[in-house]
């Protein structure tokens, strides 16, 4: 494609969503468009504050449209990891524990209905499945290296945009042919579209312990929607939940303490 006919795609958001979109367009779709990614210094990527696990968690196809999407998404991750062997990604095992005294007992039992279960002591049942652990900083660093020679990175905060123009806090205007909004929880500040306004960010909070040695195998354990994730390479232990009440840049520590005590008792 000649420079005269080349179109520009502007991606607003420098987290996994925006970076992977650019990666797929370049390496899978072989696009000839110019790609520009806006990474806001004011709104850092939610990606870097995530526990970053990918698993089916008992989800199977044929029950809901969302469930079908989740299953397809998991298999797409399998394909991606198998094809590109990215840094910062480990495949390991997730074990979900269920107990009759847990408030989510029936929900978990129904969700894992087609999975093979194993009886444990004190009435617990456990289900084992594959999961992928993403070390956010390492994986994003790998993605950035893959994109550096193909993408223009702009470290400015987008304050407004139209289909053909983007304005940043640096009072600069960028012309564009397409816009992909991948700003995560900050999308509501930029878009008036109903689908974006109706969507809600998922609040989460977790505790992180460093210099922990629990062996050479990364794993995840789940009980009553609480996760304990051990990263063997970084010797790091993470405890928390993606569905707990939290704030933009700080955890709800009193609630986490209560949930931690619940986990200890279990």
Tell me the C-alpha distance between 58 and 185, whole Å. Answer: 26
Tell me the C-alpha distance between 245 and 201, whole Å. Answer: 11
| pLDDT value, residue 47 | 78
What DSSP state is assigned to residue 251? B
| pLDDT value, residue 102 | 87
Torsion angle of the four alpha carbons 185, 191, 193, 194, in this order, in degrees rounded to the nearest 10: 40
Reported as type and span, the H/E element at residue 142 is: helix 136-147
| pLDDT value, residue 103 | 86
| pLDDT value, residue 210 | 93
pLDDT level of residue 104 (50, 70, 90 thresholds):
confident
Q: Are strands 34-38 and 178-181 parallel, antiparallel or unpaired?
A: unpaired
Q: Which two tokens stand for residue 43?
A: 């709104």
Could you tell me how far CA 61 lies from the centroid of its own chain? 21
List pLDDT tens digits, range 196-249.
777 777 767 788 889 999 999 999 999 888 889 999 999 999 888 766 554 455
Please report, in angstroms and rounded to a whole number, the separation of the first and last CA atoms in the chain: 61
Mean pLDDT, the chain, integer? 87
Strand partners, 144: none
| Whether residue 4 has pLDDT greater than 80 | no
pTM confidence score: 0.85
Tell me the C-alpha distance between 53 and 47, whole Å. Answer: 11
Averaged over 137-164, what is the pLDDT?
93
Rank 92-101, 114-123, 244-253 by mean pLDDT and report only the highest.
Answer: 92-101
Q: What values do phi and psi take at 195, rounded to 5?
A: -60, -35
Closest CA to 95 of 206, 218, 208, 219: 219
Q: What values do phi and psi take at 10, rounded to 5?
A: -105, 125
Burial code (b: 16+ CB inside 10 Å, e: under 16) for 225-246 equals bbbbbbbbeeebbbbbbeebeb
| Whether residue 251 has pLDDT greater than 70 | no
């Amino acid at each position: 494609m000649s420079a005269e006919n080349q179109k520009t795609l502007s991606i607003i958001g420098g987290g996994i969503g925006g970076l992977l979109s650019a990666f797929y367009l370049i390496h899978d779709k072989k696009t000839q468009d110019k790609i520009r990614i806006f990474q806001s210094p004011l709104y850092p990527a939610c990606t870097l504050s995530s526990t970053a696990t990918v698993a089916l968690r008992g989800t199977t196809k044929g029950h809901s449209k969302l469930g079908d999407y989740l299953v397809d998404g998991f298999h797409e991750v399998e394909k991606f990891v198998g094809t590109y062997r990215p840094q910062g990604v480990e495949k390991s095992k997730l074990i979900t524990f269920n107990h009759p005294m847990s408030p989510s007992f029936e929900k978990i039992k129904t969700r894992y209905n087609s999975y093979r279960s194993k009886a444990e002591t004190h009435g617990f049942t456990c289900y084992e499945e594959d999961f992928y652990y993403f070390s956010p900083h390492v994986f994003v660093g790998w993605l950035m290296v893959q994109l550096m020679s193909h993408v223009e990175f702009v470290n400015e905060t987008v304050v407004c945009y139209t289909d053909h123009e983007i304005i940043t806090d640096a009072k600069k205007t960028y012309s564009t042919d397409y816009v992909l909004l991948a700003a995560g929880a900050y999308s509501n500040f930029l878009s008036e579209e109903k689908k974006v306004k109706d969507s809600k960010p998922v609040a989460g909070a977790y505790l992180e312990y460093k210099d922990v040695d629990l062996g050479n195998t990364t794993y995840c354990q789940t009980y009553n929607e609480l996760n304990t994730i051990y990263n063997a390479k970084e010797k790091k232990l993470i405890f928390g939940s993606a569905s707990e009440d939290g704030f933009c840049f700080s955890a709800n520590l009193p609630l986490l303490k209560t949930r931690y005590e619940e986990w200890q008792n279990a």
